[in-house]
Amino acid sequence: MGRLIYGTAYDGMIRFSLIDSKDIVSELRERHKLSYLPTVVLGRLTTAAGLVIPWLSEKETITFVISGNGPAGNVVSQSSAKGTVRGYITNKDFELEPNEIGKFDVKNAIGQGELTVVRDVGLRTPYVSKVPLISGEIAEDVAYYYTKSEQIPSAFALGVLMEKNGVLTSGGLAVQILDRHLPNEVIIKIESNLKNFSMTHYLFDNIPLEEIASYVLGVNNLIYEETNVIFKCNCNKEKAFESIMILELEDLYELLSEEKAEVTCKWCGSVYLFDKEDIEKAIELKKKE
């Protein structure tokens, strides 16, 4: 479970959110059996998805899809207004050599490509937007999407700090300017505070989210709300059975000869098993289509 705080500042001219996502990223790592760098990559994007939960409409879900030419492949995270997140990465096990300062570059794992954002507000057709990846560091790319596609000047800071036994800290911060009349000196101050800002270092030092927000925004006595964000997938055996029904008849007969079928949810790693009777039912239904 992740703790999320959110609110506004400067008479509503700015909105902000911060999240401690350590537990969420740890669960992602465990469910998907991720190695070091895939945990960092997927953890950052899922943290970003968690940060925007307060800004979703009542029934909305938002999905971030990073499609790059790096070894990470596709990276996908989704959040809902109900306070849930989930995500997956194509390549679960890869590592890169550290850069000249000893850090692992997420941008080299992502490579060049695009960020697709799908906003489903419950209508027949979701809203889909695409922007090029401008850095591959994820925070800058998500901020660029909001600034370019939704015309909301934004800044994101995302981080996942790993150790040999797992996730040490993970979290993020998002700041958006809602009113262009915000004094320029406020913008300069926030930009200065965000320069060389490291969310994971603050969390490692056990600095509360409220204090981090006050420092970045330059405001004391912030008024904010808080909520919990959890990892939750909406998969079930019925939906897994529907995926079997997509197969052609010859493929179903092949499964029947094996007398079993197995479906793994890409979002959460849950495995659903189907026996001979289930496959026979699928075949009969397929014949009636």
Residue 97: predicted pLDDT: 66
Q: What is the total count of domains within the chain?
A: 2
Among candidate residues 264, 177, 209, the one with its CA nearest the CA of residue 47: 209
Residue 99: predicted pLDDT: 57
Q: Is residue 222 located within the same domain as residue 243?
A: no
* Cβ–Cβ < 8 Å for 156, 184: no
Q: Is the dihedral of CA 45, 47, 50, 51 positive or negative?
A: negative
Rounded-to-5 percentages of helix, strand, coil across the chain = 35, 30, 35
Top-confidence residue, 164 or 202? 202
Residues belonging to the chain: 289
Q: Is residue 121 located within the same domain as residue 173?
A: yes
Per-residue pLDDT, averaged over 90-105, amounts to 71
CATH classification at residue 48: 3.55.30.10
Q: Is residue 68 located within the same domain as residue 202?
A: yes
Top-confidence residue, 99 or 27? 27
Q: Is residue 201 located within the same domain as residue 264?
A: no
Q: Is residue 23 located within the same domain as residue 164?
A: yes
Whole-number Cα distances in Å, 139 to 72, 88, 142, 146, 251 = 16, 17, 5, 11, 42
Minimum mean pLDDT range among 104-108, 162-166, 236-240: 104-108
CA dihedral of residues 189, 194, 195, 199 (deg, nearest 10): 160
CATH classification at residue 249: 3.90.1280.10
Phi, psi of 72 (to 5 degrees): -70, -25
Confidence of residue 105 (pLDDT cuts 50, 70, 90): confident
In the predicted model, is pLDDT for residue 25 greater than 90?
Answer: yes
| Residues 107-144 pLDDT 10s | 889 999 999 999 999 888 999 999 999 999 999 999 99
Say which residues have a Cβ less than 8 Å from residue 154's Cβ, sequence separation at least 6. 142, 143, 146, 147, 174, 175, 176, 177
Per-residue pLDDT, averaged over 184-205, amounts to 94
Q: What is the mean pLDDT of the chain?
A: 93
Domain residues for the domain of 264 are 237-288
Per-residue pLDDT, averaged over 180-189, amounts to 94
Per-residue pLDDT, averaged over 65-75, amounts to 95
Q: Is residue 142 located within the same domain as residue 275?
A: no
Pairing of strands 84-89, 224-231: parallel
Q: Is residue 248 located within the same domain as residue 195?
A: no
Per-residue pLDDT, averaged over 48-62, amounts to 96
Per-residue pLDDT, averaged over 9-14, amounts to 95
How remote is the C-alpha of 161 from its chain's centroid? 16
Indicate the pTM of the whole model: 0.92
Phi, psi of 48 (to 5 degrees): -60, -40
Q: Is residue 117 located within the same domain as residue 174?
A: yes
Q: Is residue 67 located within the same domain as residue 99?
A: yes
Distance of alpha carbon 87 from alpha carbon 66, whole angstroms: 11
Distance of alpha carbon 172 from alpha carbon 223, whole angstroms: 19
Q: Is residue 259 located within the same domain as residue 280?
A: yes
Burial of 38 from C-beta contacts in 10 A (0-12 / 13-18 / 19+): buried
Q: Is residue 28 located within the same domain as residue 161?
A: yes
Residue 44: predicted pLDDT: 97
Distance of alpha carbon 203 from alpha carbon 200, whole angstroms: 5
Q: Is residue 277 located within the same domain as residue 164?
A: no
H/E element holding 289?
none
Confidence of residue 288 (pLDDT cuts 50, 70, 90): confident
Read off the tokens for 141.
Answer: 């790319």
In the predicted model, is pLDDT for residue 46 greater than 80?
Answer: yes
Say which residues have a Cβ less than 8 Å from residue 167's Cβ, sequence separation at least 6. 22, 25, 26, 29, 39, 43, 160, 161
Percent of the chain with pLDDT over 70: 97
| Residues 234-245 pLDDT 10s | 999 999 999 999
In the predicted model, is pLDDT for residue 88 greater than 80?
Answer: yes
Residue 20: predicted pLDDT: 98
Confidence of residue 289 (pLDDT cuts 50, 70, 90): confident
| Residues 204-225 pLDDT 10s | 999 999 999 999 999 988 889 9
